[in-house]
Amino acid sequence: MQKKGNRYGVHRVIEPAGVMPQPALRVNNDFSEIYDNEILCDVITLNVDSASFTDINDRAGKDPEKIKEIMLDIVKKYGKHKNPWTGSGGMFIGTVARIGDALKGKIDLSEGNKIASLVSLSLTPLRIDEITTIHMDTDQVDIKGQAVLFESAIWAKLPDDMPQSLALAVLDVAGAPAQVERLVKPGDCVVVIGARGKSGMLCCYKAKEMAGPNGRVIGVVHRETGMNEVTDALFVDEVVVGQADNALNLLEKIEKVTNGELCDVVINCVSRENCEMGAIMIAKDLGKIYFFSMATSFTKAALGAEGIGKDVEMIIGNGYCRGHADLTLDIMRKSDYLRELYTKRYC
């Protein structure tokens, strides 16, 4: 008889006792037995979140073998892939190997189904037996290993109408365009910082859809290289080349293209530190700022806004938003431009 597990996975926490799996330092990744409310998966690919992969890549000197060493060491020490420097993880795709007795017949899932986890690797018990391939340009890592999902976990069956690598790439950032749908109103001026990135392009698309013909979407890109991918997108009205961590320079450029009016909604998708103030300064008073990046510092954002007397609503990105998986996959189905671009990037 299988052991009874806690809905939120607290039964897997080793250290410190009594905390949830995400903030826990170490979790149990021994899958010789699973609890009655767990889903055991044979993992195929890890999609490491952008902030975490960028950090690991920098620490490894962009050496794939050293990246492997760092990732294996993280999982060996902590029982999960929670980057100790960024605190973030990513997600995985895999095949369902076993379903706990308490969940059988209660969830629309069968052994053998291919799924994408929609909860962070920073809380997911994971065992890596071998890292087979590191896809440096996509932050995806093919492995042999296993992971368990808890009863409270969210997941999505992989769709049949697109490559699994494409589905994994967009599902990893599905919370971003779903939150944009909630934040942007018809007629809004919206700026997306990091517009060329995976989450940035999706946010631009959804922002234009919500702002409508009377609204405006401005994409901020880091450099001119590759900016044509944003310029060519019909759902982006203007592209600005600017440094997200140079607040005064970014402010000057956005003031110029908005005639000093600034923006109703600012979406920050940049996976680098010190990009809080730029986003704050280009928002209108009483405007909204959505920080999707895991590199965001709450302290810098809160005290920074206070320090310049900026009255804005700041929202920390939640990777989960009800219906976010379907919404994001539907963008891939509706936008031929994005589907072609993302297929080229991630497949």
Taking the CA atoms of residue 166, residue 138, residue 43 and residue 156 in that order, the dihedral angle to the nearest 10 degrees is -40
CA pseudo-torsion sign 254, 257, 258, 259: positive
The pLDDT value recorded for residue 156 is 93
Q: Is the pLDDT of residue 327 over 90?
A: yes
Q: pLDDT for 187-222, tens place per residue?
A: 999 999 999 999 999 999 999 999 999 999 999 999
**Over the stretch 256-295, which tens digit does the pLDDT of each residue have?**
999 999 999 999 999 888 999 999 999 999 999 999 987 8
Q: Measured between alpha carbons, how far is 203 from 189 in angstroms, rounded to an integer? A: 13
* pTM as predicted: 0.86
Residue 50 has pLDDT above 90, yes or no: no
Window from 164-168, 237-241, 278-282, 328-332 with minimum mean pLDDT = 164-168
Task: Name residue 228's amino acid.
Answer: N
Question: Tokens at residue 29, please?
Answer: 């990744």
pLDDT mean over 321-344: 96
Per-domain residue ranges for the chain? 10-158, 175-346
Q: Options 2.60.120.10, 3.40.50.10310, 3.20.20.70, 3.40.50.720; which CATH number does 175-346 get?
A: 3.40.50.720
Tell me the DSSP string of 28-49. Answer: ----SS--TT-EEEEEEEEEE-
Tell me what the mean pLDDT of segment 122-137 comes to: 97
